[in-house]
Amino acid sequence: MQKELDNIQKSLIAFFKKNTNQEGITLREIAHNIWASHPQTVLNKLNQLVLKWYFVKDDQWYRLIRESITDNLNDIVQLPIYGFAQCGNKGKKVVDEYSQEKIPATIAMLGVKDVSTCFFVRAKGNSMEPKIQDGDLVLIKQQASYDINDYVFVVHNDLPKLKKIIQQDGKWFLESVNRFFDNVEISKYDETKIIWVVKKIIKDI
């Protein structure tokens, strides 16, 4: 059972209900309007409300989707967040450390027709910057193939990673976007599964 909302969370819901057009508004302005101590407090509380399914966040901003726990959420899906995926060349085995956390999203925001094959992971590390940054929420779709331009979620020797797959001189590599990271060759002895494709990257949740 969800805890009762605190005063700042309630104020945010009331503010977004009253101000349906938040285009161009800043966290500082919201903080001033709801008497919050700091813009970071507003951001933290908004993200908490996303995880409580009161808001969704798309590429642009936050959107209020319900005002109370009893409101109908017919147009909302809740997708699981499955641990962390490394944006680096090293890391621990985390793919089986499944989180019970879920996050709400609209079908329109996801841009994916079949959400039954989708889930989220958290990016960890900075090898994919600036495209994917540490802490980003990354929407993954399970599918049997990928395009050469796709970013993929690959399980390489039991380590889940977010990378691009490239071929050079007849060899295959896991490529990082950050030029300070070396590409990692996929050898014939490696255990590699490349069946999941990055479909969306969400910041600041």
Domain membership of residue 157 as a residue range: 76-202
Q: How far apart are CA 122 and CA 201, in angstroms?
A: 10
> Considering the chain, what percentage of its residues have pLDDT values greater than 70?
85
- Domain shared by 96 and 182, yes or no: yes
What's the pLDDT at 107?
75
Most confident of 29-38, 62-71, 126-135, 153-162: 29-38
| CATH number of the domain that residue 14 is part of | 1.10.10
What's the pLDDT at 54?
87
| CATH number of the domain that residue 137 is part of | 2.10.109.10
**Identity of residue 193:** K
The model's confidence at residue 21, banded by pLDDT at 50, 70 and 90, is confident
The three-state secondary structure class of 102 is strand
What do you get for the CA distance between the two ends of the chain, in Å? 22
What's the pLDDT at 7?
93
- Domain shared by 103 and 29, yes or no: no
Residue 15 in any domain: the answer is: yes
- Across the range 123-149, mean pLDDT stands at 87
- Domain shared by 60 and 156, yes or no: no
Per-residue HEC secondary structure of 56-99 comes to: EECCCCEEECCCCCCCCCCCEEEEEEEEEEECCCCCCCCCCCCC
- Domain shared by 59 and 36, yes or no: yes
**Number of domains into which the chain is organized:** 2
DSSP states of 115-138? GGGEEEEEEESSTTTTTS-TT-EE
Q: Does the structure show a pLDDT above 50 at 96?
A: no
Q: Does the structure show a pLDDT above 80 at 113?
A: no
Q: How far apart are CA 35 and CA 45, in angstroms?
A: 13
- Domain shared by 50 and 141, yes or no: no
Q: Does the structure show a pLDDT above 50 at 17?
A: yes
- Domain shared by 132 and 187, yes or no: yes
- Domain shared by 185 and 100, yes or no: yes
Residue 46 in any domain: the answer is: yes
Phi, psi of 168 (to 5 degrees): -140, 125
Residue 69 in any domain: the answer is: no
Residue 22 in any domain: the answer is: yes
- Domain shared by 163 and 91, yes or no: yes
- Across the range 175-190, mean pLDDT stands at 88
Q: Does the structure show a pLDDT above 50 at 69?
A: yes
Encode pLDDT of 80-93 as tens digits: 887 766 665 454 44
Encode pLDDT of 26-56 as tens digits: 999 999 999 999 999 999 999 888 888 888 8
- Domain shared by 104 and 170, yes or no: yes
- Domain shared by 184 and 91, yes or no: yes
What tokens does 151 get?
């970013």
- Domain shared by 60 and 80, yes or no: no
The mean predicted confidence, pLDDT, of the chain is 82
Q: How far apart are CA 184 and CA 189, in angstroms?
A: 13
